[in-house]
A and B are shown apart, each in its own frame.
Chain A
Amino acid sequence: MTATTFAWLVLLCPLVGTVVIALGWNRWPGRSAGWIGTAAIAAAFGCAVVTLVSIRTRAPEHRELSSTLWNYAVTSGLDAKMQILVDPLSVFMITVVSGVSALIHLYSVTYMQSDRGLHRYFAYLNFFVLSMLLLVLAGNFVILIIGWAFVGAASYLLISFWYRRSTATRAGLKAFVINVVGDVGLVLGTFFIFKHTGTVDFLKVFALTPHVFGHDSTDLVVACLLLGVGAFAKSAQVPLHTWLPDAMEGPTPVSALIHAATMVTAGVYLIVRMHPLFEQAPTAADVTAIGGGLTLTVAATIALVVTDLKRVIAYSTMSQIGYMIMGASVGAYSAAMFHLMTHAFFKALLFMAAGSLIGAMAGVQSLDRMGGFRRVLPFTFVSFMVGGLALTGLPPFSGWLSKDDILAFLDHRGGGFEILGVLGYLGAFLTGLYTFRMIFRAFWGEPVEEARELEHGHLAHADVPRNPMTGEEEDTDIGFPGPGHYIAEREMPMKVAMGVLAVLALIGGLIQIPGVDLGIERFLSTTFADSHLVRSEPSTASSWVGLAIGAGAALIAITIAYRVWVAEPGTATRVRERLPALYTFLANKWYFDEAIDFLIVRPALTVGRLAGSVLERTVIEGLLTGGAVGAVRVGSAAVRRWQTGFVRYYAAAMLICLSGVALYFLISS
């Protein structure tokens, strides 16, 4: 049993889980489907750990293993294989993905138990994990594209999981459409690369890149930009980010899994995986770095004014992924992966805590309605606090070490990248502000009715379940959320999942401390051995300066947040009244939705209507369809007319056509 065998098993476990749950859909009693799903992912995590251990026993230069299960289409000029690449980077990713996914499955077992679509939910969730692991382990572009598209499909299925909720189905469509834009980018980018290198195998492409592409050659820049489009769509970066806040229509564990911990990091992984290409095309890398920097600020400012609890966390996710994209684009690969890992821990934790809080509010998600939950939800409060502090980046929480690792690299690289670094510190400040706005508004202040009810040991329950976005009345049958609401304080599986993540969010950063031990960087060094950017690491001293600045920004932000939302309540309203234009601008999310609507959707609709009325009716239906159908009909009639059923005609036709063939040969020669 080698490392690659276990890597294949990592893929097999969720596949088996999906099939078993889906085929036995209504035969699994109670929550057993959930336990099957959790067991499958836990087994995958186990295999991932074994892979990790077994790859660590190898010498660092022998840690890149490519394994092919079977050839799909291998002929001259095409080498599509069912192939995985097991190297430190992919092993690192599968460990994080399967580990966090296992915990989220565990959380879902209770959180979703009253939902009528429980089997479907777990089948989808297992399928999602399978797709994500396939994407990460892909050893060539074909498998990458398959995994990439599967992930998009799984995300669509899970966002629209409550398919009778109109807002959910619309959000699912939006996510799917934007993800397909990314898929197209990825496929076109792959085509550019394949055209030049003649192979889709990652390792061969990377080896060939310096030889077939000139430094910063146009084709490679275009290819990388197209890959970047794929990465930006999947990772919700400006301007392809608008689907992510809407994706919060899905169940909360889904938000934790897909829209925080795993799927949205696929773009970061893609850029890191393709680093030999991006390093050869610095123009494209600069574009993605600036995109990441832009996203992290834009998203952080929007998060300041959004009132929907889950959407605040969603914008924060966008912002944090902006850091990672930025880091991955400038060469801070191991720092980006480090932040990806810690972010997976604390963001999943935040979403889970938010889920518990929403459970206590009987499905209500608006921050305006929350308050004073500190005492009645002690466990949720502590978890939220740990997640929030890690997100803000206060020492010694994990986010502090990982985020500032990226920023230190940016400052060290210089050449204009300091501006992005400064943007990063500004973002860190805003992060502290919006995180503690959330915490102070939900947990401090006067306890709301639901909190008081909980104090008497009674979990709030809505008389009529409503859509938290539109207020429409719903029932609790299949296609809508189930009747039950659950809080971590009362449910053991939720508590376990959150507890593990809280510990990881607290100490997960200790694996990589400048001057002490750079565990992740050391482990990933095999993958990045060919990179010329990683060699210029910032010194330990300058790293610590960066860490100090980051911690300072976070502390100031928390202090200000305390003054605004706890010490002097009403300050926020005064600020809003003083700067109405800014507030409207932010509350409308920088008008990105409107801009896309104005620039793309409306013109497309207008053209579409015009096409529908003019082009479709006259040209398509009249000429093309009509013409084609007519031609086929006439042809069909002609074929029938010739098919008389009489041998004499057949023989005659044969001789006539024979003369034609013979004449052709004689004339053409």
Chain B
Amino acid sequence: MTILAASHMQGPPIDWAALSPFVALTTGGLLVLLLGLLRPPVVRERMVPLLTLITLGVTLAFEIAHFKHRASFISGALRFDDLALVLDMVFVVAAIAAVALSTRIPAVREAGHGEYHSLLLFSLLGMAVLVSAQNLVTLFLGFELLSIPLYVLCAAEHRREGSLESGLKYLVIGSVGSATLVYGLALVYGSTGSTDFSSIGAAVSAGKLSGGVGGDSMLLTGVALVVVGFAFKASVAPFHQWTPDVYEGAPTPITAFMATATKAAALGVFLRFFNVAVIGSQNTWAPMLAALAAITMIVGNIGALGQSSLKRMLGYSGVAQAGYMLGGVVVGTRLGVDATVLYIAIYLGMNLAAFAVVVAVEKTGGEGDHIGALRGLGSRAPWLAWPMTIAMLALAGIPGTAGFIGKFQLIHALVDGNYTWLAIVLVVASMISLGYYLRVVATMWMTGPAIAPVPYAPIAGGSQEADADGGSQEAKGSDGDAGLPLSPATAIPLPEIAFVALLFAAATVFFGIFPSPLFDLVNHAGAALSGLVP
């Protein structure tokens, strides 16, 4: 009987052409892994990154080809709409930048070129599945596919204690997050009887649940657990604590990738789940998310103030920025979705520029990612100092940069959606953020011995126990990569890294002055979510 049943069972029809971005990523990932097995160093060091870039390029081309063509496949488990495609493009760009930044770091050598790059591609595939997911199962599948390669990548530099620690911490905490999420998804399924977003949405909106949305404690608990699971991935406070530790320890290109792509994926799934599936109970979850957003903005910015490690600082800044973006989810309007997607795209540019400079400084400075390594960068390496300056000003939201446009739209959406108080918190938090962004700018340009490195107590070493354990987060990040001394007034060393920095900084300024292409792009993305207040 079972055999008979099995033979009768048919998989849903799959439209492979429409799935082409996923196919490209999967094939590319496998090929890269195999190519990495070949012995000649030229294959491993040149061909593997090249093949990765080709895979990414092909994926991007497929995504662009699919743009404006909404397609749903595998029985509606996945959907390519403009929201998913815009976010996919963000992921691909982040991955391209990560590959470019990875060319000279020890992590790639230690982990093996093939493994490193294929893990990056599979993580990317997970993100793409996550934001295309239309039901709870694919959602969780994407979530795990995105996370597991990243655990490994964080520990890729396995001869460095900090990297190993980062990977391990991410794995443990990430597992807690995943477990929370899967519990939440199970409860949501249990209460609505469906895994499909649209059916869940219909059930929630129609009030078919016992006692309505408000009275169904199973659904509410499920939603609470889902909030936590997503919040963990997007590093929303108070579920952000892994962020600075992991960001600091991980190889910097991976940090850059996590800070941009993972965050974008998490916010994308926030949009999908909250603004589609459970939009009907917005009155219930919105105040909670708003409170989380406010806490995130404050905690992120206050936490960043005292940091002397650039990567930790950017980690906390990323926490704060996640809070800003969450604001667009809270309001649950078309304007809010647009503003969030716009900010994700802008955040990609400014953050990648900053991380590219951190990679370059780590390679050449000999001081690791300590803020002191930036001293005198303005005169020493203006091609790095300018992108960093632009990135910092943009992250702070100074007019003339894309960061301003992004924040302006978020505030617009918040005020429009009757969350004026959250907009005020956003502005106050941005004011606080100037405190550490401008410190970076000042360190670079106001040179000379007068500015001594500001001593700050190392955070993780705050407790005696932590110091005694040797579990300090202030691990020496610089032991393996003190080579390539940067002599002033020579040709630009690390051309590909400087190129990434300059390119994204230029984009940040360009879209600050000509933002309309971005507006058009996110307008399509916002249109993909139906059922929102226009």
Most chain A CB within a 10 A radius of its CB, from B177, B284, B463: B463
Q: Which residues of B contact A72 (CB under 8 A)?
A: 513-516
Q: Which residues of A contact B104 (CB under 8 A)?
A: none
Q: Is the CB of A666 within 8 A of B305?
A: no
CB within 8 Å for A643 and B241 given contacts A661-B288, A669-B284? yes
Whole-angstrom distance between the alpha carbons of A665 and B288 in the complex?
8
Whole-angstrom distance between the alpha carbons of A434 and B498 in the complex?
66
Q: Is the CB of B245 within 8 A of A665?
A: no
Does B488 sit within 8 A of A, measured CB to CB? no
Q: Is the CB of B305 within 8 A of A632?
A: yes
Q: Which residues of A contact B432 (CB under 8 A)?
A: 632
Q: Is the CB of A643 within 8 A of B412?
A: no
Which 7 A-B residue pairings sit nearest by Cβ, starting from the closest? A645-B460, A71-B516, A662-B224, A669-B214, A665-B220, A639-B303, A635-B302
Q: Identify the closest chain A residue to B227 (Cβ).
A: A661
Whole-angstrom distance between the alpha carbons of A650 and B214 in the complex?
31
For chain A, the bracket of interface size reads 35 or more
Q: Is the CB of B221 within 8 A of A665?
A: yes
User: How many residues on the B side are at the interface (Cβ–Cβ under 8 A)?
Assistant: 60
Binds B, one of A73-81, A457-465, A499-507: A73-81
Majority secondary structure, A binding face = helix
Interface residues of A in 603-657 (CB under 8 A from B): 632, 635-636, 639-647, 649-651, 653-655, 657
Whole-angstrom distance between the alpha carbons of A75 and B409 in the complex?
9
Q: Identify the closest chain B residue to A660 (Cβ).
A: B238
Q: Is the CB of B225 within 8 A of A646?
A: no
Q: Is the CB of B516 within 8 A of A70?
A: yes
Does A575 sit within 8 A of B, measured CB to CB? no
Q: Identify the closest chain A residue to B183 (Cβ).
A: A658
Q: Which residues of A contact B217 (CB under 8 A)?
A: 666, 669
Binds A, one of B189-197, B437-445, B465-473: B465-473
Does B67 sit within 8 A of A, measured CB to CB? no
Does B140 sit within 8 A of A, measured CB to CB? no
B329 to chain A, nearest CB (A): 15
Does B62 sit within 8 A of A, measured CB to CB? no
Q: Identify the closest chain A residue to B339 (Cβ).
A: A75
Q: Which residues of B contact A657 (CB under 8 A)?
A: 228, 238-239
Q: Is the CB of B287 within 8 A of A666?
A: no
Q: Is the CB of A636 within 8 A of B306?
A: yes
Q: Is the CB of A73 within 8 A of B408?
A: yes
Interfacial residues, chain A to chain B (CB-CB below 8 A):
70-78, 632, 635-636, 639-647, 649-651, 653-655, 657-658, 661-662, 664-666, 668-669
Does B151 sit within 8 A of A, measured CB to CB? no
Q: Is the CB of B285 within 8 A of A644?
A: no
Q: Which residues of B contact A662 (CB under 8 A)?
A: 220-221, 224-225
Whole-angstrom distance between the alpha carbons of A654 and B173 in the complex?
9
Q: Is the CB of A651 within 8 A of B173?
A: yes
Does B188 sit within 8 A of A, measured CB to CB? no
Q: Which residues of B contact A651 (CB under 8 A)?
A: 172-173, 176
Q: Which residues of B contact A645 (CB under 8 A)?
A: 245, 459-463, 466, 471-473
Q: Is the CB of B238 within 8 A of A653?
A: yes
Q: Is the CB of A74 within 8 A of B225?
A: no
Whole-angstrom distance between the alpha carbons of A639 and B225 in the complex?
24
A565 to chain B, nearest CB (A): 56
Whole-angstrom distance between the alpha carbons of A76 and B461 in the complex?
50
A267 to chain B, nearest CB (A): 27
Whole-angstrom distance between the alpha carbons of A653 and B295 in the complex?
15
Which one of A641, A649, A666 contacts B220 once the chains associate, using CB atoms below 8 Å? A666
Residue-wise, chain B 232-276 has the 8 Å CB interface mask toward A (1 for contact) of 100000110110110000000000000000000000000000000
Q: Which residues of A contact B242 (CB under 8 A)?
A: 650
B437 to chain A, nearest CB (A): 15
Interface residues of B in 164-218 (CB under 8 A from A): 168-169, 172-173, 176-177, 180, 213-215, 217
B427 to chain A, nearest CB (A): 14
A127 to chain B, nearest CB (A): 17
Q: Which residues of B contact A664 (CB under 8 A)?
A: 224, 288
Q: Which residues of A contact B513 (CB under 8 A)?
A: 72
Interfacial residues, chain B to chain A (CB-CB below 8 A):
168-169, 172-173, 176-177, 180, 213-215, 217, 220-221, 223-225, 227-228, 232, 238-239, 241-242, 244-245, 284-285, 287-288, 292, 298-299, 302-303, 305-306, 335, 338, 405, 408-409, 412, 416, 432, 457, 459-463, 465-466, 471-473, 513-516, 519
B266 to chain A, nearest CB (A): 15
A237 to chain B, nearest CB (A): 31
A525 to chain B, nearest CB (A): 35
Q: Is the CB of A632 within 8 A of B244?
A: no
CB within 8 Å for A74 and B516 given contacts A643-B462, A644-B466? yes
Q: Identify the closest chain B residue to A76 (Cβ).
A: B335
CB within 8 Å for A640 and B173 given contacts A632-B432, A662-B221, A665-B220? no
Q: Identify the closest chain A residue to B312 (Cβ).
A: A643
Whole-angstrom distance between the alpha carbons of A151 and B238 in the complex?
49
Whole-angstrom distance between the alpha carbons of A216 and B144 in the complex?
66
Whole-angstrom distance between the alpha carbons of A78 and B459 in the complex?
45
Q: Is the CB of B173 within 8 A of A650?
A: yes
Q: Which residues of A contact B471 (CB under 8 A)?
A: 645-646
Q: 24 A–B contact pairs at CB < 8 A?
A: A72-B514, A77-B412, A635-B299, A636-B306, A640-B459, A643-B462, A644-B463, A645-B245, A645-B459, A645-B472, A645-B473, A646-B471, A650-B242, A651-B176, A653-B238, A654-B228, A654-B239, A658-B180, A661-B292, A664-B224, A665-B284, A666-B221, A668-B284, A669-B220
Q: Identify the closest chain B residue to A641 (Cβ).
A: B462
CB within 8 Å for A636 and B405 given contacts A72-B515, A641-B462? no
Q: Which residues of B contact A74 (CB under 8 A)?
A: 516, 519
A177 to chain B, nearest CB (A): 22
B231 to chain A, nearest CB (A): 8
Q: Which residues of A contact B287 (CB under 8 A)?
A: 668
Q: Which residues of A contact B169 (CB under 8 A)?
A: 647, 650
Q: Given contacts A640-B303, A645-B460, list 20 more A-B pairs with CB under 8 A.
A: A72-B514, A72-B515, A73-B405, A73-B408, A73-B515, A75-B338, A639-B299, A641-B462, A644-B466, A645-B471, A646-B466, A653-B238, A654-B238, A654-B239, A657-B228, A657-B238, A657-B239, A658-B224, A661-B292, A665-B221
Most chain B CB within a 10 A radius of its CB, from A70, A636, A649: A636
A478 to chain B, nearest CB (A): 25
Whole-angstrom distance between the alpha carbons of A658 and B239 in the complex?
9
B340 to chain A, nearest CB (A): 14
Whole-angstrom distance between the alpha carbons of A73 and B405 in the complex?
8
A194 to chain B, nearest CB (A): 14
Whole-angstrom distance between the alpha carbons of A76 and B303 in the complex?
35
Q: Which residues of A contact B214 (CB under 8 A)?
A: 669
Q: Is the CB of B412 within 8 A of A654?
A: no
Q: Which residues of A contact B462 (CB under 8 A)?
A: 640-641, 643-645
Q: Is the CB of B302 within 8 A of A636?
A: yes
A66 to chain B, nearest CB (A): 17
Q: Which residues of A contact B305 (CB under 8 A)?
A: 632, 636
Q: Is the CB of B176 within 8 A of A640?
A: no
A460 to chain B, nearest CB (A): 48
Which one of A76, A77, A641, A669 contacts B215 once the chains associate, using CB atoms below 8 Å? A669
A39 to chain B, nearest CB (A): 27
Q: Is the CB of A643 within 8 A of B244?
A: yes
A75 to chain B, nearest CB (A): 6
Whole-angstrom distance between the alpha carbons of A159 and B232 in the complex?
58
Whole-angstrom distance between the alpha carbons of A45 and B459 in the complex?
64
Most chain B CB within a 10 A radius of its CB, from A73, A646, A654: A654
A642 to chain B, nearest CB (A): 7
Q: Which residues of B contact A658 (CB under 8 A)?
A: 180, 224-225, 228, 239
Q: Identify the closest chain A residue to B170 (Cβ).
A: A647
B307 to chain A, nearest CB (A): 10
Whole-angstrom distance between the alpha carbons of A13 and B331 in the complex?
46
Whole-angstrom distance between the alpha carbons of A76 and B533 in the complex?
13
Whole-angstrom distance between the alpha carbons of A641 and B465 in the complex?
13
Q: Is the CB of B232 within 8 A of A654?
A: yes
Whole-angstrom distance between the alpha carbons of A669 and B471 in the complex?
43
Q: Is the CB of B516 within 8 A of A665?
A: no
